[in-house]
Amino acid sequence: MNLRVGFELVFSCSQPIPMLLMLNTHSSHVDDVIEPDRLQIDPPIPLTQYHDSFGNLCSRLITPSYGYLTLSTEALLNVPDRPEEPAAENYQSPVEHLPDECMQFLLGSRYCETDLLSNTAWALFGGTPQGRPRVQAICDYVHRHIAFDYQQARPTRTAHEAYQERVGVCRDYAHLAVALCRATNIPARYCSGYISDVGLPPPYAPMDFCAWFEAYLGDRWQTFDPRNNAPRTGRVLMARGRDATDVALSNAFGPAVLVKFKVVCEPGG
């Protein structure tokens, strides 16, 4: 299935501001690309790029001194035309047998306070079977525990606060599930990107960027989505890291205000 993804972001600028952006599809989709997502900048200004320690493509620029900065892109990818299927490897490795790369994803981070949630995690899930059944039990719990509400979104809400407040958006679902997995010795990392509505009945909510997570089971990272908590068709990764701190779409080191936001993720030719 051909899937068209893209966005248009418009910032209001009052002075030159350095920005760090994470707006491209992840390199893991390189074999899926039909039309690449080259970042368009208006007005044209210099851009440099690098890959961070998590393998995410990052862009750097300095905004105009005054006026508006528009960032946009569009890509066409060939993705599976069927819902996601779980991998066969379901077992949970003992901590001492985990690859070195997994160890940082067992630790607490800015938005995932494993220390505050450890007792809760073991009380809720210590009796569940290890591996995929435990991760799915965590997803089921988070899906029920948090009420989705755009109007109560807050960029500083942590996993522990989401647990207490029982409300949030997709990043809060992901943060809480990540923290509960880590607290029960399952490596988990936060992911951001696009998710299509293919196969879902209308009405459709306005398209937005989405958050989910990956847990290390068997010998691979596997996708879990506590917000939707069901297999989806058309999921496209942009970035992954310890939590939302590592995958922020934009970091402005000064007063750059987002005034327009549009996201596209739909079947296309």
Structure tokens at 150: 């755009």
Q: Which residues contact 259 (CB under 8 A, 6 or more apart)?
A: 10, 11, 12, 68
User: Taking CA 213 as the corner, what is the angle to CA 185 and CA 147, rounded to the nearest 5 degrees?
Assistant: 105
Write down the architecture of domain 2-81+249-267 according to CATH: Sandwich (2.60)
**DSSP code string of 169-215:** -HHHHHHHHHHHHHHTT--EEEEEEEE--TTPPSPPPPP--EEEEEE
Average pLDDT, the chain: 96
Mean pLDDT confidence for 201-220: 92
How far apart (Å, rounded) are the C-alpha atoms in residues 240 and 193?
9
User: Confidence band (pLDDT; 50, 70, 90) for 256?
Assistant: very high
Report pTM: 0.96
The 3-state DSSP composition of the chain as helix, strand, coil percent (nearest 5) reads: 25, 35, 40
Question: Is residue 78 scored above 80 in pLDDT?
Answer: yes
* Tens-place pLDDT, residues 7-28: 999 999 999 999 999 999 999 9
Helices (H) and strands (E) in the chain, counts: 4, 15
Domain range summary for the chain, segments of one domain joined by +: 2-81+249-267, 95-247
Write down the architecture of domain 95-247 according to CATH: Roll (3.10)
Question: Is residue 61 scored above 80 in pLDDT?
Answer: yes
* DSSP-H helix ranges across 43-202: 114-125, 132-145, 159-165, 170-183
* Tens-place pLDDT, residues 107-128: 999 999 999 999 999 999 999 9
Domain 2-81+249-267 identical in fold to domain 95-247: no
pLDDT for 206 equals 83
pLDDT for 219 equals 92
Question: Residue 150, CB half-sphere, CA atoms under 13 Å: how many?
Answer: 6
Is residue 265 within 8 Å of 3, Cβ to Cβ?
yes
* Tens-place pLDDT, residues 234-246: 999 999 999 999 9
